[in-house]
Structure 1
Amino acid sequence: MALLKAEQRVRIRSIKLDNKPAELLQASSKATVPVLVLSENQQPLLADEARVLEQSLDIMVWALSKNDPHGLLGEDSYNQLPLMLSFIEVFERRFDPALNAFGCAKRYHEDTVIPLRQECERELARLESRLTEHRFLFGERESLVDIALLPFIRKFARIDKQWFREAPYFKVRGC
């Protein structure tokens, strides 16, 4: 989404993780997705930065730092960006492990489904509260935070679609 909003031209390849192409294995020691390999005319933000970006957030920040026509890094990006990155990091650190555990518990019909979902709900409630106060998670305009958290919300919603449709997180569902 950030690449699209930043109007960055990239080549997107569908990767089957059980049959990784040689180019991926050469580009990234991790060999997991996402991976963005910067071409010769796509410069890293800083001279000592890698030419291969392997984290979604790094890719988003790189793209928006190149071109941010929608102001997703904020009006005053030098002050707002560190706050946004901190918010995203805290959310991800709290939510992602619970989300993965919840997904596994649901898939294998374990008896820990409800407590694990409730652990995720603590973060959803935090987002719902912010969205009650503001149109978007970081204020009145869409920001990097909204784009970065969307895949987590989408993944959570897909684990138990019926429950999510009926859950009291009206604003989060509208993301």
Structure 2
Amino acid sequence: MTLPTLYSFRRCPYAMRARLGIYLANRAVSLREIVLKHKPEAMLALSPKGTVPVLILQNGTVIEESFEIMCWALSQSDPNNLLLANSNKKQEAAKALIEYNDQVFKSWLDKYKYADRFPEHSQQYYRQQGELFVQQLESLLDKHPQLLDQAPCIADYAIYPFIRQFAHVDKAWFEQTDYKNVQQWLANHLQSEAFTTIMQKFPTWLESEQEFVFGGEK
């Protein structure tokens, strides 16, 4: 049976998010690992925006947004109730956190990481703007070990790849901050089987001309 095709880039937090959703839903896809400087024409023909992830379903439907890929996968199989099916209130809270991450925090994260490209302010200024979201997460994690409850939900998996990127800009600084809850939460996710699995290395599609099955029943 033909599988959906996922164009991905290992270190991209959006692509990490998509792979997490697929893995946690026990779905299987044909993975095409790309090189960002040499984007495949086949991908660009289907998704001219040229960013990963891109998921091509068997019927030709193209899903270009990482969160939508997560929702597609989990709508078919959600064994851990990551979509919070029994709580509209938590669903709304998760949606709000993810929207803030994507629409506000990610912009400050990019400026913090690539501060030399944004000379209008200092790197410290950009970091301080990003910290506002980290502080919000720290407060949530004061109440329970995951963002909205005892167990992780879609918000945890959709957000932690970006907090990982924020932490890695200056690891020494991040590790000496008072964000102890966020540090522990992030460390736990980065040490998990899910993260280890989604971060395995595959030869690039253009080099190998091979597709690799990613995910599936565990």
- TM-score bin, normalised by smaller chain: 0.7 to 0.9
Partner of 1:88: 98
Does residue 154 in structure 1 map to residue 173 in structure 2? Answer: no
Q: CA deviation at 1:12?
A: 1.5
Q: Deviations over 1:79-137 (max 9, x none)?
A: 64344222210232221111111111278999701111111111101000000111210
User: Contact 1:2 / 1:63 at 8 angstroms: preserved in 2?
Assistant: yes
Q: CA deviation at 1:73?
A: 0.7
Find 2:74's aligned residue among 64, 71, 74.
64
C-alpha distance in structure 2 between counterparts of 1:112 and 1:128, whole Å: 24
Partner of 1:43: none
User: Contact 2:25 / 2:77 at 8 angstroms: preserved in 1?
Assistant: yes
Q: Which amino acid aligns with 1:157?
A: A
C-alpha distance in structure 2 between counterparts of 1:89 and 1:14, whole Å: 27
C-alpha distance in structure 2 between counterparts of 1:106 and 1:139, whole Å: 38
Q: Which amino acid aligns with 1:98?
A: W
Q: Kindly tell me the number of residue pairs found equivalent between the two proteins.
A: 166
TM-score normalised by structure 1 residue count: 0.86
User: Contact 1:37 / 1:53 at 8 angstroms: preserved in 2?
Assistant: yes
TM-score normalised by structure 2 residue count: 0.70
Residues 95 and 130 of structure 1: CA distance in aligned 2, closer, same or farther (over 3 Å) = same
Residues 14 and 167 of structure 1: CA distance in aligned 2, closer, same or farther (over 3 Å) = same
User: Contact 1:72 / 1:144 at 8 angstroms: preserved in 2?
Assistant: yes
Q: Which amino acid aligns with 2:80?
A: H
C-alpha distance in structure 1 between counterparts of 2:32 and 2:107, whole Å: 27
Shifted more, 71-80 versus 13-22: the winner is: 71-80
Identity %: 36
Does residue 99 in structure 1 map to residue 145 in structure 2? Answer: no
Residues 107 and 31 of structure 1: CA distance in aligned 2, closer, same or farther (over 3 Å) = closer
Does residue 164 in structure 1 map to residue 183 in structure 2? Answer: no
C-alpha distance in structure 2 between counterparts of 1:172 and 1:65, whole Å: 28
User: Contact 1:73 / 1:80 at 8 angstroms: preserved in 2?
Assistant: no
Q: Which amino acid aligns with 2:82?
A: L
Higher strand share: 2
Shifted more, 26-35 versus 145-154: the winner is: 26-35
C-alpha distance in structure 2 between counterparts of 1:88 and 1:156, whole Å: 15
User: Contact 1:106 / 1:159 at 8 angstroms: preserved in 2?
Assistant: no
Calculate the aligned-residue CA RMSD, in Å: 2.2
Q: Whose relative contact order is higher, 1 or 2, with alpha carbons under 8 Å and at least 6 apart? A: 2
Residues 28 and 108 of structure 1: CA distance in aligned 2, closer, same or farther (over 3 Å) = closer
Find 2:143's aligned residue among 133, 146, 171.
133
Q: CA deviation at 1:158?
A: 1.2
Partner of 1:14: 33
Partner of 1:25: 44
Q: Deviations over 1:48-70 (max 9, x none)?
A: xx811111101111111110011
